[in-house]
Amino acid sequence: MRQWVGSILFTFFLFATVPIYGSVALLTAPLPRACTYAVAVFWVDSMFWLLRVLCRLDYVVEGHEHLPARSSIVLLKHSSAWETLPVPLDYVHARMRDTHDLWHAVTGYSGDVLGEAALLGFIFAQTWNPGIAFILGIAVTKTIRSKIGDGPEARRTIMDGFRRGQKTAWLPEQEWESMLALPIEEVRRRLNVGPLPVYKEVRSAELKAAA
């Protein structure tokens, strides 16, 4: 019972604070990136605190001693979020997480910054998740400042993702395992994904160089 209550309360606070912090983050978009980052970090810290209080979830960072002292590149596994939802709701969260790369493959959006933003537009059209809307709003705002590729073209690419998401079959309910052996073109036809997007990929290294 406590898990249910804690999960429900945490989910309530999560969705209630997203538009508040999201609005503040959007207002800081014209300011240096550090300001937006500070707002995001404060929100994340508050979520960690709620997880400890409501869900009794905490974390321990181990392995610092294995990090080299010199400048290095660390390759990390795509880690999952903590499972804070009770059974069977946790299955939906895990399913969306585990099939994320399949959405990339089917829609044709690469893993670059603009491709991720366009896929977020696609996902939002399919799920109407307010958390996705928050991240999407920041991405669109960044295109106004031309931080993500060519501003107007980047916004068109993101909006195209949203429109494609509205026309495509509902991907969360798909039995992906039954389609893994099929040619990708056949999978796209079955799901009515439409023509593949044509856009100029934007890498994070390019954004850092332009900052």
Give the integer Cα–Cα distance in Å for 101 and 150. 25
pLDDT at 99 over 90: yes
pLDDT at 124: 95
| Full domain range(s) for residue 115 | 99-211
Residue 76 falls inside a structural domain: no
pLDDT at 158: 95
Give the integer Cα–Cα distance in Å for 14 and 159. 26
Q: Which of 13-27, 38-52, 182-196 has the highest mean pLDDT?
A: 182-196
The reply to whether 43 and 141 lie within a common domain is: no
The reply to whether 137 and 42 lie within a common domain is: no
Mean pLDDT of the chain: 86
Instruction: Quote the Cα angle for 33-52-46, to 5°.
Output: 25
The reply to whether 56 and 110 lie within a common domain is: no
pLDDT at 129: 85
Q: Would residue 51 be called left, alpha or beta, if left means φ above 0 and alpha means ψ between -120 and 50 degrees?
A: alpha
Instruction: Tell me how far apart the terminal alpha carbons of the chain are, to the nearest angstrom.
Output: 49
pLDDT at 82: 59
Give the integer Cα–Cα distance in Å for 70 and 65. 13
pLDDT at 81 over 70: no
pLDDT in tens, 8-44: 888 888 888 988 988 898 888 888 888 888 998 999 8
pLDDT in tens, 105-163: 999 999 999 999 999 999 999 999 877 888 888 888 888 766 566 788 999 999 999 99
Residue 53 falls inside a structural domain: yes
For the chain, how many structural domains are there in total? 2
Question: Which one, of 104, 101, 112, 106, lies nearest residue 194 by Cα?
Answer: 106
Residue 72 falls inside a structural domain: no
Kindly state the helix (H) or strand (E) to which residue 164 belongs, with its residue range.
Answer: helix 151-167
pLDDT at 88: 72
- The tokens of 91 are what? 């299955």
The reply to whether 211 and 109 lie within a common domain is: yes
Who has greater pLDDT, 88 or 129? 129
Residue 68 falls inside a structural domain: no
Helices (H) and strands (E) in the chain, counts: 9, 0
The reply to whether 40 and 134 lie within a common domain is: no
pLDDT at 146: 63
Give the integer Cα–Cα distance in Å for 103 and 109. 8
pLDDT at 195 over 60: yes
Question: Which one, of 53, 51, 56, lies nearest residue 11 by Cα?
Answer: 51
